Structure 1
Amino acid sequence: MKKYRLLLLALGLASPLAAQQRYELNSGWKATPIANVKADGQAISQSSFATTDWAPAVVPGTVLTTQLENKQVPDPFFGMNNNRIPDIYKTGRDYYTYWFVKDFKEAKAAGDDQVWLHLRGVNYSCEVFLNGQKLNKKTHHGMFLRQTYNITPYLAKDGNNRLAVVVYPPDPVGNPNGGQGGDGTIARGVSHQYVAGWDWIRPIRDRNTGIWDKVTIEKTKQVNVKNPHVVTRVPGVRKPEGPQAPATIEVTAELENPTAKKVSGVLQYTLDGQKVSQKVTLPANSTQQVSLEKLALQNPKLWWPNGYGPQNLYQLKMQFLVGKTVSDEEDVQVGVREIQTKWNATTQSMQVHLNGQKIFIKGGNWIISDAMLRFTDARYDAEIRFHRDMNLNLIRVWGGALVERPEFYQACDKYGMLVMQDFWMSGDANGRWVDPMKLEDQWTRRQYPNDHRLFIESAADQVKMVRNYASLGMWCGGNEITPPKDILTALQDSILPKLDGTRWFVPYSNSDSMSYNNQGGNGDGPYGIQPISRFWAHRTYPFNSEVGSVGVGDYESLERFLPAANMVPPKYLGPKSKPTEKVDSVWDYHTYIGYEQYLLPYGAPKDARDFGLKAQLVNYDQYRALMEGFSSHMWEWYTGSIIWKTQNPWTAMRGQMYDYYLDPNACLYGLRNGSEPLHVMYNPVDTMVMITNNTFEVKRDMMLVVDAYDMAGKKTNVTQVIVEINPSMSKKYLPVNAVVRQMAKEKGMFLSLQLQDFNKKVISNNFYWLSDAKGEYSGLKGMAKTAVKVTTKQTAKDKIEVTLTNPANAPVAFFNRLALVNPKTQKRILPVFYTDNYVSVLPGESKTVVMDYTPTSDVTAPVVSVEGWNVEKQLLPVASSN
C-alpha cells in the first residue's frame, strides 16, 4: 500500500500534455457537385488543385444546407418552398453527390507524436483523401459509424494540408410517395428514415447527404486513449439530501499504440480529488482494453432526474502517461446514479427506479433538433431546457431518426432528463403492417436493412459514443418493431451487455416487456385531440410510449413560415358536434392536425389571429389534462406516459410545445402546470379535487384552498382544509360538484385551486375555466375587459421580472401571453424562458413572471409585451433594477 501511495505521489508530478490538442474543422470548406469535376480524389486532395470556382460549404452540414447557404435553393421550411427543390428520387443520386474540400494547417508530427482525423458522421458513403493519399481502403458506408484515421504519415512537410471527401447519398434513396418513410426502401440502409417523409414532415430532398457531424483533428503522443467507459454503482435506496453511503466507480478504456515499438506507461484517472492508476505495457501496433481498480466514492453527490433532486455532475480526467509525459487524455462528464427496473404487477408495466427510488415517468417523444441536421450546442441546450421547464423527466429519441449527439446528452445531464434511445427501426418502414404505400412486402421489409453487419457495427460504435452519460436511461430496439432476429440477438446478448451492461433494454417501443397492452391495439396513441374527460377516465396502455394531441402555435408563430396570403383560419363545415375542418393548402402541406369540435365552444375563429388565440386555450387544456389524467392513476393504472410529441424539427403544425423557431405555445405551460411535482388538480369526470405528489417526501401542513369565480370576478370560497400526502402517490380529497353545477350553469365559471404553506405562500396553483351547461364558453365570449397594471424590472443582465396586478372588483384577467419583443422589428426575441405564461390574475391579486433570455448587441433595450383574453395589448419598456 505504501508503494502504491508513493506511485500516486510521483504521478501527481507528471507534466501536462503540452502537445495535446483537439480542434474542429468547421469553417473554410468548399464543395461542388461530382458532375463538375473530372479529376479523382488523389488530384483533388492536393493543394495545387484549383477550387476557386467551388462554393463555400457548410460542414458539419449537408448538400442542402450548403445549397441554402449559397442561395441556390429557397428555405424549405417556409410555405411551399420544399416543393421547389428537386427531389433526389427524380434527379438521381449523382445530383446530390458532392466533393467537400478543406485546407488546414498542421505541422508534420515529430518523433512518436501522432495526429488523428475523426469524422463523427457522414451520410451515407464516402471516400476520404488527404494530400493525394486515400485514407480508407474500402468505401465507408453507414450514417452512424464514426471514422478515425491516423494521418501522421500523410501530413505535408510544409504544414499545408488538404482534406477531400466525396460523399454519396443513401442507396436506395426511397420514393417519397406520401407514406410513412415513403415507399419504405429508405430503411434498406443504416440511416434515418424520416427523410423520405412522414405524417409530420415532408421529404428532405437530398436525404441529408453530407458530412453531417463534426470533423476534428486530435494530436497525441505515442498512445491514444479511446472510448473510456465509466459505470457508477449506487446500492440501496437513496434520497437526494443528507449523507450518502459510498458509490462504486468502475472505469475501463481502450489504449491504442500505433507505433512500431512497445510502450509502457500508466493509465490513470482523477475523480473528486481521488486518483486511480494502472501500469500498462502495450505491444507495437496494438489496441487493448484496460480495466482500472474500482473506486469507492465516499459521500457521493448523486444525479437525479428533473423534479426529484439535483443534477450533480463530476468531471473525470483520464490520462495515459509515459514517464512523466501525458501521452493522451480524455475528459468524461460523470453523473453518479444507478438505474433499475421493476415489474409492477398492478399496472402490468415496468417501473423505472433510480438510486433505489421509483420514478413516475413523464416524458416527451423527440425526433431530432433540426430536420436538416443543423445542430448547435445552444439549440440543444434551449430545447432540453424547455423540456425541463415542462416538468418532464424523460425524452424518448424516436427510432426513425438517429442516436442523438453527445451535445444532446450533455444538455440532458444538465437538466435532469432521462433518455430512452431507440435504434434505427420503425414499424412503418420495417414491416410491422401491411402497407399499400410500400414497395416491398412485409416479409422483405422485416429483413431491412440490407447490411445487418453494418447495423450491428454501427450500433456498437454509437453505444460507445454515448454510454457515459447519466441521462441515458434505456435502449430500445426500434420504434414499434423489433429488429431482425440476428440484430436483436446481437444487441441484447452481446453489444449492450459487453459495452454497457447497466441499462434497461426494450426490444421495441411498445413491447409487452415494457407495458403489457391488455387493452388491445398497437400499444400507443391516440395522437389527436381528445375530450378532456378521456384523459382522466379512459384506461390506456400502462406505460404509453406515444400519446398526444394538437399543438398549433399562435399568430406570431404561424406567420414565420406561412405566406401572408395563407394566413387564414380553418373553416368549419358540417354538424357542430363533429365538424369537418377545411384548411388552406399550405396548412395541409405543413401537416395541420384538426381541433375538430373542441375549438368551437370559444366561438368560430374570425381570422388567423383569433384562431391562434383560441387554439392556445385548447392547447393548454389538452396537455394539462393529459398529464393530470395519467398522474391521477399513478401506480394504479400507469407507471409512465410519453407524449407524442413535444417538438418539431420542421415547421409542422402538430405535436409541439414550442415551434421550430423556439417560440413556446400554451401546450408547454399547460404541460408545465399539469406535470409539476407537487400538484393540486380538478378531475372533471367526478369533480374531485386531488393532489399528486411526485417527490420522495411526505408533504404535511398544507392548506388546500378552493375558490370559485364568476365571469364578473365575484369570489365564492368553496373550502379551506389542512391536507397532507405521502410520497409518490395521488390522492382524492373532496368533490366540488354542487358548486360547479350551480355556478357554471349559465355562463361557465373559473375554479381556483391552491396549496399554501402556513405562511400563505402558494406552493401549487391551478386555474381552470369551465364551460356552461351546454358545453359552451358563453361567459368568456362576453367577458368584460380589465385594466391590468404591468410593472417591469431588469433584475440581472439576462433576467427581467414582470408583475401583473389586477384591480379589486374587476373580472379575472384571463389568459395573458407575455413576450419579450425587439422594439425595432416588433418581433419576439427567441428563445426566452418564462417561469410561467398564459397566466390568469385574480381580482385584487398580482402575479410575477421572470423572463430569462440572452442579450444581444442588436437589441439593447427589449420591451415587454402583455396581451390577454380580456386585457388590451401593452408594450412596456424595462425599468432598471436601480
Structure 2
Amino acid sequence: MKHLFAFPLVLLLCTHFTSFSQNKYELKQGWKCSPVLKVNDNGLRISSTSYPLTGWMPAVVPGTVLTTMLENKQIPDPFYGMNNKNIPDIFHTGRDYYTYWFVKDFNETIKSGEQAWLHFRGINYSCDIFLNGKKLNKERHSGMFLRQSYNITASINKNGANRLAVIVYPPDPVGNPNGGQGGDGTIAKNVTHQYVAGWDWIQPVRDRNTGIWDKVTIEKTGKINIKNPHVITLVPGQRKPDGAQKPATVKVSAELENPTALPVKGLLQYTMAGKKVSREVTLKANVTAEITLPDLPLENPKLWWPAGYGDQFLYPMNMQFIISGAVSDEENLHVGVRQIQAETNTVTRSKQISVNGQRVFMKGGNWIISDAMLRFSPERYDAEIRFHRDMNLNLLRIWGGALTERPEFYEACDKYGILVMQDFWGSGDCNGRWPDPMKADDQWTRRKYPDDHDLFLTSAADQIKMIRNYPSLAMWCGGNEITLPQDLMFPLRDSILPKLDGTRWFVDYSNSDDMSFNSLGGGGDGPYGIQPLKRFFEYRTWPFNSEIGSVGVGDYQSLERFIPKENLISPEYLTGQREKVDSVWNYHKYIGYSDHINAYGKPKDVEDFGKKAQLVNYDQYRSLMEGFSAHMWEWYTGVIIWKTQNPWTALRGQMYDYYLDPNACLYGLHNGSAPLHIMFNQADSTIMVANNTFNHQYDLMMVVKGIDMQGKEKNLGQAFIEIGPSTTRPIFPIKNDIRQMAKKEGMFLSMRLMNLKQEIVSDNLYWLPDAEGNYSGLNQMPKADIDIQARKTAKGKVEVVLSNSPSNTIAFFNRLSLVDPTTRKRILPVFYDDNYVSILPGEKKTVLMDYTETGITPLVSIDGWNVKEQFIPVK
C-alpha cells in the first residue's frame, strides 16, 4: 500500500529514469448502491458494464450504509436531538436490512508490461468483490481491520470501461443494544469495533457501521510492486533538540511482489537527506519477498520531538524499484528520526517514556474516533490533532473499543508532535473482565472473544505494517482494561510485533501493572466526574493514570446545534439530590456538574448555565493537569484524560464539541499543561513552578498579586527563581494571605513568571471563592468597558488586541470568536492561541486567530463575564 505523502517536485524532476505510466488514484465519486433486499441478481451479472442500475441511489464511499442513507435523506441526522431513536436498529430489522451492494464504474486500460492493482483499506464487516463479471476473492473476506489487495491486470476490459461491484455484509452477530457497554457484548465476537452497540458516551450506531468505510484505490505499476516499506531510526544516547547532533542510523526494508511468470532483476533504492541507498535484487516468478537495504548513517540529523520539546522535522524519502532504467514502482514517505524508550521509574513504580534519550512527562488524552459514523477526512484529523497540540498535550491513546487509526490521523500527529498509544481491539466491558448482567454470555465465554483468533492475528499484523513508519506511534497496547486471550497476546507480543516492528513498547493492557503499579497508597484510575479542585493535588491515583476525566458541556451556541429549542432547559441541581435533567440531555449522555454551577449563582436559563459551565470547565481541567504536574516524577510519570473529544454530539468529557467548537476545557488545559508554568496548589495554597522542558530555566522573576473585585491589587510575593529541566518545585505558601483577602466575596490571584526583559513567560489567573465556597463577588463585579482592535495580519490570520483601562476592574473571562457577519454564528474551526482571557486593569492582551478563509470578512465577537457582548470589524 502506498503512503499518502506528497513528494517534493524537485526530487521527482531529478529522477533520471523513464517510468511506466504508473499512478494511483482513489475510487471516490460516482458510486451507486442498493439494499440486497431489492436486488435479485448475483455479482457476476451486476459487475457487467451492461447491467442496468436503474433505481440505484448514489452511495458514499468511503462511508457506511447509514451515511449513504443520510446523504439520500432516508434518515434524519442521528446526532440531532432524539433522531437516533427513530432509525431502525439492525438487531431488530435483521442483517439483510443493512446488507448492501456498492457499484463503481471507472475507466482504465493496461499497456504492455503494466500491472493493475485494486486496494481496499477497510470494509466492515465481510464482502465479496466482483470486477467485470469475475469474482476476485476466492473466499468471502472478513474483518474490519484487514486491508485487501487484488491484481486486476487480467480483469481490466480492453475498451477501458470497467465495473466494480461489492456486496457488504454487517457483522455477525450485530449485538443487542440493550444499554450495556457494547450492548450485550456479542459485537465483540467479531474482529470489529465495539462502541457501535452503544456505550456510556454514545447511543448505538444503527447499522453497526456496515460499509466500505475506508479508501478504495487503483494502482498501476511495472512488473514489480513495492509493498509495506519499513523504516526504523536509531538515535543512541541522550539528545537535546538544539545544536549539533551525533549520527543516527536509518534501517530500511520493503516487500517486493513479482506477480509475473518470469524472474525479474532490478535495483531497489531510496533517496533521503540527499543520499541514495540501493541493492540489486532478483525476484523469482510469482513471489513476494522482503528485501533489506544497507543501513544509512545520518550525519548531524534533524530529529523529531514531541510537541513542546522541539521541532517535528520530517525527511522526505523516495523509494523506487528500477528495471532496465525504468521505474517499476515507487513509494513516497516522510521519516521522523527519533527513538522511543520505555523503562520503569523506580520511584513511582510506573513506566516512563523517553524520546531520544530524554524522559517526557506524559500529558495525554484518550481518543475515541474522529466520527462515530466513520466520516473521516484529512482536514478534520488535522484540526482535531492541532487542538490537542494547542492543549499542550503530547500523547493520545487510541481506545481499544474503536479502531486502528487511519494513516491520515498519524500524519497529523507527526506534524503536530503528538505521541500515540495504539490499542488493539478489545475492552474489559465486552471481553469479560467483570460480571455483567447486561451481557449475553458469561465471563468465561466473553474472555475468549473474538470467535476467530486467526483473523485477529492476521489483522493485527496487517495494521502494524500500515502504521509502523510513523514517528508519532510510540506504544502498542493489547486492549482496554484487559489483556487479550493468551493465544492472541503471546503471539502478538513475542513474535508478530518483534518481527514487524520491534522498536516500541508493548503494554499488555491499558491499566496494567506493567504500565502503572496499581497498589500504591491510594486511588486507581479515574475519577471520571467533576471533583473539588484540591482533590487533584492531594488524592494519589495510579502513577501512570490511563483514564481520568470530568465534565465538558459547551456553551449555548454549541448546545443549540444539536438540542431542539424545546429541550434547551438548564439542568437543575437540588441540594442532596441528583440533577433534574431534560430527556434529550440524558440521551446525549450528560454527566452532572453537581453543585459546582450553583457556586456561581443558580442559572437563570440555559444560556446562563452554559456560560457558568465554562468557568467550571476551565478550572477542572487546569487543576487536573496542575495536580499531576505538582507530583511529576514523585507520584506520577503520566496521565491520560478520559476523554478529550466526542465523535458525536455527547455532553461529557470534551475540549471541543463534535462541530469543532472549542469550549473552556481546552483553554484551561492549555494553561495548566503549559511547558513552563507557575501554578497554585489548591490543596495547600503553595505557589509552584513546573518546567516541562529539557532546558534549565534561569533568571525568572515570580510576581504574585491578589486582586479584589474592584480591581485593587495587593503584592503577595516577588522573587527571582531558577528551575531545572523536567522538574516541579514548590516556592512558598500564601494560605494566610488569600484566606483573609478572599473571605468576604472571593478574590483573583495573579501569578506570573517574567524573564529579564520583563516579558511574561507564564501567566495564570485564578478566581478563588469566599469563605462559604461561593463565588459571590463575581456577581457583584463592576462592568469593564474595554477597547478592542482587530486586524488581519495575513491570509486566514487575525490579531485582536484587548486593552483595559487602569480605572476598571479586571475584564474577566472573555470568550472571543470569529463569526459570520450575516448570521453572527461562529466560523468553525478557528484556532486561538488563547481564549476565555482576562485583562488586568491598565494592561493589554493580544489573541491570535487562525482559520480557513471562505471569501467573507468575518467579525470578531467578544462575550465576557463583566464585558458586554459586541462585534468588532476586522480591519
- TM-score where L is the length of structure 1: 0.97
Is residue 399 of structure 2 the alignment partner of residue 398 of structure 1?
yes
Task: Give the distance between the partners of 2:537 and 2:736, measured in 1 at CA.
Answer: 20
Look up the SS of the partner of 2:322 in the other structure. strand
Task: State whether structure 2 residue 263 is matched by structure 1 residue 265.
Answer: no
Amino acid at match of 2:467: V
Are the aligned partners of 2:124 and 2:169 in contact in 1 as well (CA < 8 Å)?
A: yes
1:525, distance to aligned residue in structure 2 (A):
1.0
Query: Any idea what SS the aligned residue of 2:622 has?
Result: helix
Amino acid in the other structure paired with 1:854: T
Are 1:510 and 1:523, in contact at CA under 8 Å, matched by a contact in 2? no
Alignment of 1:227-266 (within 5 A): 227-266=228-267
C-alpha distance in 2, partners of 1:403/1:599?
38
2:107 equivalent in structure 1 = 105
Q: CA deviation at 1:762?
A: 0.3
Q: What residue is the counterpart of 1:34 in the other structure?
A: 36
Partner of 2:145: 144
Match of 2:7 in 1: none
> Structure 1 residue 112: deviation in Å?
2.3
Distance 2:577 2:335 in 1: 53
Paired with 2:81 and 2:403, the residues of 1 have a C-alpha distance of: 27
Kindly indicate whether residue 873 of structure 2 is the aligned counterpart of residue 877 of structure 1: yes
The alpha carbon displacement at 1:738 in A equals 2.0
Match of 2:9 in 1: none
Aligned to 2:605: 607
* Distance in 1, Cα, partners of 2:668 & 2:448: 42
Do the aligned residues in 2 keep the contact of 1:269 with 1:275 (CA within 8 Å)?
yes
Runs of 4+ that moved beyond 2 A: 11-14, 519-523
Distance (Å, rounded) in 1 between the aligned partners of 2:520 and 2:606: 39
Whether the aligned pair in 2 keeps the contact of 1:659 and 1:665 (CA below 8 Å) is yes
CA distance in 1, matches of 2:124, 2:249: 39
User: Could you give the per-residue CA deviations for residues 466-496 of structure 1, whole angstroms, max 9, x where no partner exists?
Assistant: 0000000000000000111110011101110
Contact 1:363/1:395 (8 A) holds in 2: yes
1:13-412 correspondence runs (5 A): 14-107=16-109, 109-412=110-413
Q: Secondary structure at the match of 1:656?
A: coil
Q: How many Å separate the matches in 2 of 1:392 and 1:458?
A: 30
Q: Distance in 2 between matches of 1:707 and 1:305?
A: 34
SS in 1 for 2:818: strand
Q: Deviations over 1:129-176 (max 9, x none)?
A: 000000000000000000000000000110000000000000000000
Q: How does 1:676-687 map to 2 (within 5 A)?
A: 676-687=674-685
Check the 8 A contact 2:522/2:539 in 1, yes or no. no
After TM superposition, the structure 1 = structure 2 runs for residues 544-563 of structure 1, keeping only pairs within 5 Å, are: 544-563=545-564
Task: Check conservation: 1:747, 1:779, Cα contact below 8 A.
Answer: yes
Pairwise CA distance, 1:642: 0.2
- SS of the equivalent of 1:747 reads coil
Q: Share of identical aligned residues, percent?
A: 66
Aligned equivalent of 2:732: 734
- The one-letter code sitting in structure 2 at the alignment partner of 1:487 is L
Cross-structure match for 1:761: 759
**CA deviation after TM superposition for structure 1 residue 809, in Å:** 1.9
Aligned to 1:392, the other structure's residue is in SS state coil
**Residues in 2 aligned to 1:631 and 1:684: alpha-carbon distance in whole angstroms:** 13
TM-score, normalization: structure 2?
0.98
Deviation at 1:520, TM superposition (A): 8.3
Q: Match for residue 514 of structure 1?
A: 515
How has the CA–CA distance of structure 1 residues 794 and 531 changed in structure 2, closer, same or farther, with 3 Å as cutoff?
same
Cross-structure match for 2:488: 487
Residues 414-472 of structure 1: CA deviation (Å, up to 9, x unaligned): 00000000000000000000000000000000000000000000000000000000000
How much is the aligned-residue C-alpha RMSD, in angstroms?
1.0
SS of equivalent residue, structure 1 residue 395: strand
Equivalent in the alignment of 1:746: 744
Deviation per CA, 1:614-638, whole angstroms, max 9, x where unpaired?
A: 1000000000000000001000000
Task: Kindly indicate whether the alpha-carbon contact (under 8 Å) linking 2:20 and 2:328 is maintained by their aligned counterparts in 1.
Answer: no
The letter of the residue matching 1:441 is D
- Contact 2:676-2:689 within 8 A present in 1 as well: yes
Cα deviation 1:583-614 (Å, max 9, x = unaligned)? 00000000000000111110111111000001
Q: SS in structure 2 opposite 1:871?
A: coil
Post-superposition Cα deviations, 1:263-284, rounded to whole Å, max 9, x if no partner, equal 0001001111100000000001
Per-residue deviation at 1:758? 1.1
**Aligned counterparts of 1:734 and 1:16: Cα–Cα separation in 2:** 71
State the 1:826 CA deviation.
1.5
1:12 shift after superposition: 8.0
Task: Provide the C-alpha distance between the structure 2 equivalents of 1:35 and 1:122, rounded to a whole number of angstroms.
Answer: 20
Cα distance in 2 for partners of 1:806, 1:170 equals 60
CA distance in structure 1 between the partners assigned to 2:189 and 2:55 by the alignment: 36
**Structure 2 unmatched ranges of 5 or more:** 1-12
2:523–2:539 CA contact under 8 A, matched in 1: no
For 2:498 and 2:547, locate their aligned partners in 1 and report how far apart those are by CA, in whole Å: 27
Q: Distance in 1 between matches of 2:316 and 2:466?
A: 17
Match of 1:597, SS state, is coil
Please list the CA deviations of residues 157-197 of structure 1 after superposition, one character each: whole Å capped at 9, or x if unmatched. Answer: 10000000000000000000000000000000000000000
3-state SS in 2 of match to 1:660: coil
Residue 788 (structure 2) aligned to one of 787, 790, 793: 790
Residue identity in the other structure for 1:377: P
CA distance in 2, matches of 1:475, 1:177: 31
Q: Who is 1:775 aligned against? A: 773
Aligned to 1:865: 861
Counterparts of 1:208 and 1:229, CA distance in 2: 31
Corresponding residue number in structure 1 for 2:617:
619
Deviations 1:543-593 (A, max 9, x none): 0000011000000000000000001101122x2xx4420100000000000
State the partner residue of 2:814.
816
**Alpha-carbon distance between aligned partners in 1 of 2:799 and 2:55, rounded to the nearest angstrom:** 52
| Stretch of structure 1 that moved more, 183-192 or 797-806 | 797-806
**1:360-387 CA distance string (max 9 Å, x none):** 0000000000000000000000000000
Other structure's SS at 1:326 match: strand
Judge conservation of contact 2:391–2:667 (CA < 8 Å) in 1: yes
**1:719 alignment partner, one of 717, 720, 731:** 717
Q: 1:463 matched to which residue of 2?
A: 464
Counterpart-to-counterpart distance in 2, 1:619 and 1:800: 26
Letter in 1 for 2:488: I
Task: Report the AA paired with residue 851 of structure 2.
Answer: Y
Q: Which moved more, 1:627-636 or 1:801-810?
A: 801-810
Give me the whole-angstrom Cα distance separating, in 2, the residues matched to 1:642 and 1:263: 50
Question: Distance in 1 between the 2:116 and 2:497 partners?
Answer: 31
Q: How many residues align?
A: 863
Q: Deviations over 1:653-711 (max 9, x none)?
A: 00000000000000000000000000000012111110000111110011100011000
Aligned residues of 2:20 and 2:114 also touching (Cα < 8 A): no
Alignment pair present for 1:526 and 2:527:
yes
- SS in structure 1 opposite 2:201? coil
Write the distance in 1 (CA, Å) between the matches of 2:525 and 2:327.
52
Distance 2:18 2:84 in 1: 52
SS at the partner of 1:596? coil
